[in-house]
Amino acid sequence: MCLAVPSKIIEIKDHVATIDVFGARKEISLMLLPETPRVGDYVLIHAGFAIQTIVRESVESGEVMHESSIALSILDIAEEQCREQGCSAVNAIRVRIGKAAGVLPDSLLFAFDALKENTVAEKAQLLIDVVPVGGKCNYCKQEFDVDGEPYIFACPLCGSSDFVIERGREMDVEDMEMQ
Ligand SMILES: [Zn+2]
C-alpha cells in the first residue's frame, strides 16, 4: 500500500497534470477532482489520479505540513483496512520510510499522534522503519547501501557516477495490527 504523497503541479494540459515527485516528473489525471487545480498547487495522488488538492498558499504558509498530509494518508488507509476487515480498532501501524523520502520521522510521529484522535487508530502506535538509501552501480555492477548522508554523487565502491538509486525513497504502510 503506497501512501498518497502531496506532489507539486508543474504544468497542466487539459485534464492531465505534470507533477514533481522527488525530482522526477510524472503525468497524472485530474479527472477525479471536482475543480481543476492551478499550477503550483499540490495534489494527493492515488493510482495515477489526483484525489485531493492542497492549495499552494496553505503549503507555503506551513498551514499544511508535509508530514501532516502523510499522517492523514496513513489514517485513511487504517480506516479503509478496518472497514474492509470488519475490525473495531487499530493497535499498531508499521510504515517504511526511505531516508531520502523527504520525511522527518519525528514530525510524522507528532502529526500522527495529533491527528489520530476520534479515528479507528486513536490508540494506535506508529512504528517507523527507516530504509537506508541503496542502489546499484552500472560500472562495477555492485549493490551498495549508503550510510550517513541520504544523497550520494558517486558509487561508494568504485567512484563511478554511473549508478542508480533503488531504495530509500519508499513510503509504504507495511503492516497493521487490528482488533
Ligand atoms: Zn561502482
Distance (Å) from CA 10 to ligand 1 centroid? 34
Q: Which residue has the higher pLDDT, 1 or 124?
A: 124
**Whole-number pLDDT of residue 61:** 65
Distance (Å) from CA 162 to ligand 1 centroid? 8
Cα–Cα distance between 119 and 76 in angstroms, integer? 9
Distance (Å) from CA 171 to ligand 1 centroid? 26
Distance (Å) from CA 141 to ligand 1 centroid? 6
Predicted TM-score of the model (pTM): 0.62
* Residue 175: band (very low, low, confident or very high) from pLDDT cuts 50, 70, 90: very high
**Whole-number pLDDT of residue 137:** 96
Distance (Å) from CA 160 to ligand 1 centroid? 5
* Residue 17: band (very low, low, confident or very high) from pLDDT cuts 50, 70, 90: very high
Q: Which of 90-94, 105-109, 121-125, 171-175 has the lowest mean pLDDT?
A: 105-109
Q: What is the pLDDT of residues 136-146, one digit of tens each?
A: 999 999 999 88
* Residue 157: band (very low, low, confident or very high) from pLDDT cuts 50, 70, 90: very high
Would you list the DSSP string of 63-115?
SS-HHHHHHHHHHHHHHHHHHHHT-S-EEEEEEEEETTSS--HHHHHHHHHHH
Would you tell me how many other CB atoms lie within 10 Å of the CB of residue 148?
8
**Left if phi > 0, otherwise alpha if psi is -120 to 50, otherwise beta: which for 18?**
beta
Cα–Cα distance between 21 and 39 in angstroms, integer? 15
Distance (Å) from CA 98 to ligand 1 centroid? 22
**Extents of the domains making up the chain:** 6-60, 65-179
Q: What is the CATH number of domain 65-179?
A: 3.30.2320.80
Q: What is the pLDDT of residues 25-83, one digit of tens each?
A: 889 999 988 888 999 888 888 778 888 787 777 666 666 667 888 898 999 999 999 99
State yes or no: pLDDT of 24 exceeds 80. no
Answer for the pair 54, 9: CB distance below 8 angstroms, yes or no: no
* Residue with the three cell numbers 550510510: 147
CATH level 3 topology of 6-60:
SH3 type barrels. (2.30.30)
Distance (Å) from CA 170 to ligand 1 centroid? 23
Distance (Å) from CA 109 to ligand 1 centroid? 36
Distance (Å) from CA 165 to ligand 1 centroid? 12
State whether residue 56 is helix, strand or coil.
helix
